[in-house]
Structure formats: C-alpha cells, structure tokens
Structure 1
C-alpha cells in the first residue's frame, strides 16, 4: 500500500463522512507565530514575539461568542514564557486548542540554509523535517501540558512524506492544504486541484486533512480553477474580474478580504454543503504594525469588527463553532 502523500489531490472516495448531527460547522485557526518583516528576506534572528499578550484579548473575544480557537504554534511562540500566560488557562479548560505550525527557518535543529525553497518544510530532507517537527511538538506539549493534535506547515509547505511524520507523531488532523492556491512558482506546493471538503490522507483513516476554505464567487466561479491559473500573467485582470462581479477568489480570512467579500464566501461555502468552514489568520495581526493587514489601531478595530460581523452571520445561518477535537470525534469510519 503506497504511503500517504498530501501533495496529491484525493479522489471523492477519500472524503470524510460526518455524523448526521454534526451538520455544518466552522473553525477558527490562528497561525500563532513570531513577528518579522514580511517584505524582507527570511532571517533566523530578525524576529520578535511582542504580540503574544494580544492573544489573551482575542481569546476572551472568542469566548464571548462561544468560539473555540485553534492556535497553531511555532517555535518562537512555544519557547516564549508569555504564551502559556496568555492562553494556557483557556487551553487547559478546553476553551482553546493548540496545534503545531512549523516555520523551519526558526525551528531547531538549524541544519539547512535559510532561503525561500527551504522555508517550505516539506522540501527539507525527510530526517530534518521529522526532527524539527518532533522537537516543536514536544516543546508545545511541555509549554501547555497537552499534546497537540493538529498541524499546519508554515507557508502551507507540505512535502511528499510529511503525512508519514504526522502519523508517527500522533497528529490526527492536518490543515496545511490551501485549496485554490498554487505556490509552485516559489518552490512550494500546488493545491489548485485539492478539494475543500475534509478527506482522509490514508487508507486506515488515521490522518484527516482539513483544507482551508477558499471559494470562487461570481458567474464564472464554476470555471475558477481554469481561469485563475492564467491570471498570474495579467494580475490586474483579477481586479477587473472582481470589480465587474464576474469572478473573485475569496479565502475565509480577515487579512486582505473585506467583510462583504467574506460574507459572500461564507454563503457560497454553506450553500455548497461544506461540512466545515475553516477560517485562518496570523496572530501578529492582533496588534498594530506587524503585518501588512493591520497597520493602525483603526485597522485592528476593523479586524475585530470583521470577526464580530462574521460570527453574527454564521449564527444567523445556523452554523456553529467546532474544534479539532470535536471534528475528530464526529467523523465516521
């Protein structure tokens, strides 16, 4: 039996089936990471972790809506004493979850050159990818007192043998696949043909893939996977098609996606019957001045308003919050 390879799109027979009472749910995932200059070359040392205390406010905000956020934590955060102070109590009480996010350039052991190709962990030699992931998983469990059950590769950088490592580690959910996106131009994976529905990565149903949710909107949306790959040659056409209301790609994130766009995306995802809507964003956006998306206090207020509006809309549509733990316990087979 071939080893599971998350880089290969699965057939429909691999789609996970959920208990009838699960219905449709949503999950909020947070790429919980260090701050660095997104416009500069990657650097092992040029980063900080000053936004970690801001996690406490976001956690309290989510709790007020009955939402259990899933914090996917990388090494600088796991190695910072302030992280358990910010969300440790919530994790212990089951009001939040922690998972693994591997940024290889800041995660020991440091045996590779720092460059764009190696920033996709799946491009590293198997033993090095494995050792980095094991060390990070153990550091998170030591910091928070619970074993992380989910994983997201930094920069969505899965490799051909990542699934083997995850199953060895006891990880039960991967959420690295960013369906509708192609990173092959910089040495990363191509997820353009991957489905939005959760699916099993292996025949024994030990590893569930939970793709991030991105939908196409507009009259041309059924042709989105055909049209979008050609737009890299004419990037202005993406804006033209979106403004004309013909075709728009909408990932479920507050970063670069307006409230109105996100509401359209949510409605499409619900109407298409997706069992889980996967939201994501980066934790440094919880403080002003650390990502391109939140430069000011007004931007930060807008981010919280975005979530407030989306949570209200999801409730109106009857879509409840879920968690990695609940998802794992709700899949059948």
Structure 2
C-alpha cells in the first residue's frame, strides 16, 4: 500500500499517571506509594524512539511528590508530552471516611465534594508545572453532566473519561460514541445534536470489536453475558473461536495481535484517531499486578501495534490537546 493510498489517522497515547498498590486491598488514602513514576524516564525514551508524545494524566499523590514532579516536569519542558489531570477520589484531599468501591467512582460522589477535590488537584498541578492544565480523566472512568459542568467551570477543555462499551455495578458508558465528539452537557454519554456548546471536547479511548458493526456486536456481547449464557461460558467460547471479541487498545490488557485486529477494524470504519491507554504502575514489576502481561511484554505489545498502524496508515503522533485542535479545526467535527 502506497503512502497516497493509506488513510491518515492521529495517534494518542494517554497514561494514567498514579500511585501503585495492591488492588485486592482497600484504596490507599495515606502514605501512598508513587515509586513507579521513576520508571517513566525509561518509558519516555521508548516513546521518543517511536515518535510518541504521551499525555500523562497525573493524580494528586504524584503531583504531591517532588521527585515525581521533577521527572515529569523535565519531560514536559522538553516538549515531549502533555500534562493532564487525573482524579482519584480516595487519595485526593479533602479525604472522607467513605472509602469503598462505590465511592471510588467520581460520578457517585456529592458534587460539592468533587469540586473541592478538583480545585485542590488543579491548583497543585498548575503550580507545580507552572502552566495551565486543560485535559482531564476521572479515576476509574465515567462522567456525568454535573462533573462535566465542573470541568468547564475550572478551565478543562478536553475530557477523556469515556470508556466505550464498559459497564459495572456502579456506572456505565452504555451508548457513548467511540469517536471524538462534542458532548451533550445534559448527558455527556451522547453527542450534541447541533452546535450547542464548544467548551469541552470528549476524546474516548479506542475500543471496539473484531467486527465493524460495533452496535450489533455490543448487543450480542451483552446478551452473551446474561446469567444463563454466561453460566454456559458463551463469552469465552465466542472469544476462543474469534466469533466475537471486545478489545481495548491497551497493551496491558490486549495482545499485539488483538490490538492490530482492532486497528484494522477502526481504519475500516474510517476512525480519525487511534487512542491507546495504559497505567504508569504497569511500568514496574508488581507481584499483585492483575494484568496478563509483564512490563516487557506490554512494551512489546505497544511497539508492535504502533508499527502495524504505521504500515497501514499515515500516522500523526500528537498529545490529547493537539488532537482536539486538529480534529475540531481541520476536520470540522460538529
């Protein structure tokens, strides 16, 4: 395939830049460990060799640690990344007594408490990095109209809290677009019907299935996860037979082969952007890491996937804010 025949696509890598801990224990509130941030130096060199300029979504324990700030500030000042905000409510002041699964999701908290936490986080980030912060992701994903209103109020112009096709007992992203969009502020899981707002832009991570008709695939996937079919192990059977695979573009969760399959489908669907995601804690060896790949395997998954993308598309590497500018100004997304 010649360069002229290849589709053009943006590539963004976002990194949830946060503390490390054993997910089998309670959410850490005090004496939070951020040793993984020191591994970002080596990771950034890997990114530089490929051409990737990550967007680091930084949470409070990281920005509250001077050594971690020094690592990230050096990369930022070299123009090799973007610094965004990442809100983990359990370890972002003000602290509360509630520290369970329900309270770990920002969308479940009282909105005045969310605002206090957001103000503290953004203030710390803007002071530490001596620059404005305009991109944001909730910890553990999910967004609602109240939280999105706060983001606009406090100067955030790009959100990336949508995790397409994801649902659990505490929130879901059912029906959310898989491509970047201007959200309906009354329901951020929907794109606005017309030019109603241009204050905040949503850029979800890339996710989908091994077939191009995502809506139908999602319905079949939901059906297969009903109690009876799940008991009959239907999701696993369909996965093994490659009849239906839900794939997230994360080298922590998906093999290079599966991510390449997803990219092939996304390019077929004429996706304007490929958005990969990972967590900074995966950059160190953790005995309690629940991801299926080692650090070395994860990095290899990332490299192979990006190489595949470059073979099949004309790729522009950019940060999240740069992607927003390109998509909204040059391509006229409404």
TM bin (shorter chain): 0.7 to 0.9
Shift of 1:161: 0.4
Q: Pick from 227, 242, 247 the counterpart of residue 220 of structure 2.
A: 227
- Does 2:10 match 1:25? yes
Shift of 1:228: 1.7
Q: Pick from 178, 191, 196 the counterpart of residue 173 of structure 2.
A: 191
Residues 265-297 of structure 1 deviation map (CA, whole Å, 9 limit, x = unaligned): 1111111111111111111000111622277xx
Q: Pick from 290, 293, 307 the counterpart of residue 291 of structure 2.
A: 293
Q: 1:272 to 1:218 in 2, by over 3 A?
A: closer
- Does 2:162 match 1:138? no
CA distance in 2, matches of 1:323, 1:304: 19
Shift of 1:92: 1.6
Q: Pick from 21, 24, 38 the counterpart of residue 36 of structure 1.
A: 21
- Does 2:242 match 1:242? no
- Does 2:67 match 1:82? yes
Q: 1:199 to 1:112 in 2, by over 3 A?
A: farther
Which stretch shows the higher mean deviation, 35-44 or 205-214?
35-44
Residues 225-262 of structure 1 deviation map (CA, whole Å, 9 limit, x = unaligned): 21222333317322210111110000000112111101
Equivalent runs, 1:247-262 vs 2, <5 Å: 247-262=244-259
- Does 2:211 match 1:209? no
CA distance in 2, matches of 1:45, 1:64: 37
CA distance in 2, matches of 1:87, 1:46: 21
Normalised to the residue count of structure 2, the TM-score between the two structures is 0.86
Task: Extract unaligned runs of 5+ from structure 1.
Answer: 1-21
Report the aligned-residue RMSD. Answer: 2.0
Q: 1:181 to 1:250 in 2, by over 3 A?
A: same
Equivalent runs, 1:100-111 vs 2, <5 Å: 100-111=85-96
Q: 1:222 to 1:123 in 2, by over 3 A?
A: closer
Which residue is 2:144 aligned to? 159
| Other structure's SS at 1:265 match | helix
Q: Report if the CA contact (8 A) 1:220-1:247 is conserved.
A: no
Normalised to the residue count of structure 1, the TM-score between the two structures is 0.87
Q: Report if the CA contact (8 A) 1:254-1:281 is conserved.
A: yes
Which residue is 1:182 aligned to? 167
Q: Report if the CA contact (8 A) 1:167-1:206 is conserved.
A: yes
CA distance in 2, matches of 1:220, 1:197: 14
Task: Extract unaligned runs of 5+ from structure 2.
Answer: 1-6, 186-195
| Number of aligned residues | 306
